Structures are given as structure tokens and as C-alpha cells.
Amino acid sequence: NAGVTQTPKFRVLKTGQSMTLLCAQDMNHEYMYWYRQDPGMGLRLIHYSVGEGTTAKGEVPDGYNVSRLKKQNFLLGLESAAPSQTSVYFCASARDTAGLAGLSRETQYFGPGTRLLVL
């Protein structure tokens, strides 16, 4: 049981290049998320998915695209990387809150992170 895994762990890109970050979870979770973490700013939600074939925008979606073709995988794409996208990217997954929303005790389970440097 690996939990949430992310590929790659570290990547250097030149401005304008594209890349895809892969997140995989083996816990059969419905929900998956992509965050970015920047110094002094905590984690900010980029995109999320409530199930296979569905995605939605989070707080900072510009410059990113996502896909969830399989329940266990959530891909984050950068079509044309910019230095402002230098960050640490975290993927997370969670169970369905079964309608409890704010009262749900379900935590999110995080991957180890991907460090991305855009030159």
C-alpha cells in the first residue's frame, strides 16, 4: 500500500517548455487535488477532482490543466512553463465526505511533493 505517489520528485524546465506531473493513489479515493506551496504562502489549491472524468478549478488554476482519466491517477500539466510556476507541488487524495462537507472528519492524504524549477 503506497498511499499517494508523485512522479517526478524534481524537475528543471526552461521557460516555455511543457511537462506533466503524475499523481497516483491506491486507496480508492474519490477526490484528488493538486496544490502548490510557495514560501510564506502555505498550500494553495490549483485544481481538484471529485471523481473519474471530472475536474474543477481551485484557487490558482491559471497556467495549469488537469485530467483524471482513471480514478487512481490525477495529472497536472504545464503547457508553457513560466518562472512564476517555480514551486513545490503536492498531490492529495481523500474519501468522499458523504454529504457531510464541513462536518467531515476526513483528512486529505498527501504525496511526497514535486519540486519544480523553471528557469
Partner 1 sequence: AQKITQTQPGMFVQEKEAVTLDCTYDTSDPSYGLFWYKQPSSGEMIFLIYQGSYDQQNATEGRYSLNFQKARKSANLVISASQLGDSAMYFCAMRGSQAGANNLFFGTGTRLTVIP
Location of C-alpha cell 514535486: 114
- Least Å from the CB of residue 3 to partner 1: 10
By beta-carbon proximity to partner 1, the closer residue of 77 and 113 is 113
CB atoms under 10 Å from CB of 113, counted, come to: 16
- Out of 22, 52, 86, 110, the only residue in the binding site for partner 1 (CB under 8 A) is 110
By beta-carbon proximity to partner 1, the closer residue of 64 and 90 is 90
What are the φ and ψ backbone dihedral angles of 24, each rounded to 5 degrees? -135, 140
Query: In Å, what is the CA distance from 62 to each residue of 3, 39, 78, 79?
Result: 28, 19, 10, 11
Residues that bind partner 1 (CB under 8 A): 31, 33, 40-45, 48-50, 56, 58, 88, 90, 92, 94-97, 101-113
